[in-house]
């Protein structure tokens, strides 16, 4: 038997035929279109699945289930997607619609949850009792795995770690609240800190890396400059690491998983980030002698979306 995983992104939709161990056997892809009704978007996904199977000589009878990760809120129990900004979806009955085209068990969950599940099945958190996966990208997402199962909450609206309150009177967030974690721990937060700093520190090498155009600053430029000893970039990096360590301490105080996995674009900084976080974290740990989660980098990269989605049906 094989599993189908569908990774829905803002620009493209990736389909994979995945074996029981989480290995991708065959692939397909379509472009994400937001100018068509959700019924047509979902039919295009189903057609891509059927084409990928046909092109690789896999019969539908061999498919055990189909799983989908969406960049928004998904309610696993009902199969409804109440909100998915990248697709322009509101209250879309995803599973019911998809099964009009392919009559197999269909599962849907949030993309960060799915990525966390992939790391549990075939990545850095394999074999652990419990894990929290954090995607550090344009925003911040979370995936919670407890006793080998994805936990998206009772209503399917949990593991939205990016929107827990970290600063009561802090920066305004798109969600309407103040001081959400993703205002401090996302790539966007790094970029905002760097843009502000350039007014007072035009001598920073970040300025050269962005060609003098602060609108072109990205997180990698800031981390690269920090790594090479630029003082302004170093201060931003240290501030970011302090925020991230406090967010990780909050995860430990709350859920205390066996392992916390850092994924998403910012985590591509690799050991430079990981080592700094591991050094900073003990400052915030509640009791200095207590045991707490290992902090690790995600291993699977962009394939985590396909693999984890496929494994929703396992």
Among residues 24, 58, 164, 235, which is the contact residue for a second copy, using CB under 8 A? 164
Q: How far is the CB of 35 from a second copy (least distance, A)?
A: 23
Smallest distance, Å, CB 184 to a second copy? 7
* Residue 112 region by backbone torsions, left for phi larger than 0, else alpha for psi between -120 and 50, else beta: alpha
Q: Does 141 bind a second copy (CB under 8 A)?
A: no
Residue among 69, 116, 257, 264 that touches a second copy (CB under 8 A):
257
The whole-angstrom separation of Cα 264 and Cα 162 is 13
Q: How far is the CB of 71 from a second copy (least distance, A)?
A: 14
What single string gives the DSSP state of each residue in 99-125? TTT--S-EEEEEHHHHHHHHHHHHSTT
Q: Is 299 in the site for a second copy (CB under 8 A)?
A: no
Given 231, 254, 272, 302, the residue binding a second copy (CB under 8 A) = 254
Neighbours of 27 (CB within 10 A): 15
Given candidates 223, 246, 264, 300, which one binds a second copy under the rule CB under 8 A? 246
Specify whether the CB–CB gap between 280 and 239 falls below 8 A. no
**Tokens in use for 122?**
């075939």
* Contacting residue, 154, 199, 211, 213, with a second copy by CB under 8 A: 154
> Is residue 277 classed as helix, strand or coil in its secondary structure?
helix
Verify binding: residue 161, a second copy, rule CB under 8 A. Answer: yes
**Residue of 35, 103, 169, 271 that binds a second copy (CB under 8 A):** 169
Strand pairing class (140-146; 149-150)? antiparallel
Q: Which is nearer to a second copy, 91 or 200 (CB)?
A: 91
Please pick, from the candidates 21, 57, 61, 91, the single residue that binds a second copy as defined by CB under 8 A: 91
Least gap, CB of 101 to a second copy (angstroms): 27
CA atoms within 13 A on the CB side of 128: 28
In the window 170-229, what residues touch a second copy (CB under 8 A)?
Answer: 170, 175, 177, 179, 184
- Beta carbons within 10 angstroms of residue 17's beta carbon: 23
- Note whether 9 binds a second copy by CB under 8 A: no
Among 9, 148, 258, 299, binds a second copy (CB under 8 A): 258
Of the chain, the end-to-end C-alpha distance in Å amounts to: 11
Cβ closest to a second copy, residue 21 vs residue 154: 154
Q: Does 265 bind a second copy (CB under 8 A)?
A: no
Among 22, 137, 141, 156, interactor with a second copy by CB under 8 A:
156
Task: Provide the minimum distance between the beta carbon of 291 and a second copy in the complex, in angstroms, as a whole number.
Answer: 4
Strand ranges across the sheet with 294-297? 149-150, 140-146, 130-136, 259-263, 294-297
CA nearest to 67, candidates 117, 30, 26, 21: 117
The CB-of-253 to a second copy minimum distance in angstroms stands at 4
CA-to-CA separations, 54 to 18, 59, 61, in angstroms, rounded: 15, 7, 12
Does 93 sit near a second copy (CB under 8 A)? no
Gap between the Cα atoms of 281 and 144, Å rounded: 20
In whole angstroms, the minimum distance from the beta carbon of 55 to a second copy comes to: 38
Beta carbons within 10 angstroms of residue 291's beta carbon: 7
Examine residue 98 and tell whether it contacts a second copy (CB under 8 A): no
Chain residues binding a second copy by CB under 8 A are: 73, 75, 82-83, 91, 129-130, 142, 144, 146, 151-161, 163-170, 175, 177, 179, 184, 243, 246-247, 249-250, 252-258, 284, 286-287, 289-293
């Amino acid at each position: 038997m094989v599993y189908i995983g569908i990774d829905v992104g803002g620009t493209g939709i990736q389909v994979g035929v995945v074996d029981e161990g989480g290995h991708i056997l065959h692939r397909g892809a379509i472009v994400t279109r937001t100018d068509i009704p959700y019924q047509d978007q979902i039919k295009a996904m189903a057609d891509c699945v059927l084409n990928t199977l046909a092109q690789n000589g896999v019969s539908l009878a061999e498919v055990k289930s189909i799983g989908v990760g969406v960049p928004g809120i998904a309610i696993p129990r009902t199969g409804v997607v109440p909100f998915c900004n990248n697709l322009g979806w509101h209250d879309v009955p995803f599973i019911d619609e998809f099964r009009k085209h392919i009559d197999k068990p269909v599962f849907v969950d949030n993309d960060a949850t799915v990525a966390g599940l992939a790391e549990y099945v075939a990545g850095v958190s394999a074999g652990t009792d419990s894990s929290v996966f954090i995607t550090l990208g344009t925003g911040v997402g979370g995936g919670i795995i407890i006793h080998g199962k994805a936990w998206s909450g009772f209503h399917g609206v949990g593991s939205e770690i990016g929107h827990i309150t970290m600063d009561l009177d802090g920066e305004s967030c798109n969600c309407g609240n103040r001081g959400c974690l993703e205002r401090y721990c996302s790539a966007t937060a790094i970029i905002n800190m760097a843009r502000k700093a350039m007014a007072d520190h035009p001598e920073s090498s970040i300025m050269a890396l962005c060609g003098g155009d602060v609108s072109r600053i990205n997180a990698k430029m800031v981390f690269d400059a920090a790594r090479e000893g630029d003082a302004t970039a170093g201060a931003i990096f240290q501030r970011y690491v302090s925020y991230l360590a406090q967010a990780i301490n909050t995860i430990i105080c709350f859920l205390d998983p066996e392992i916390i996995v850092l994924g998403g674009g910012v985590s591509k900084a690799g050991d430079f980030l990981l080592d700094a976080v591991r050094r900073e974290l003990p400052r915030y740990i509640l009791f200095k002698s207590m045991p707490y989660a290992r902090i690790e980098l995600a291993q699977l990269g962009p394939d985590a979306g396909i693999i984890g989605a496929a494994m929703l049906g396992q």
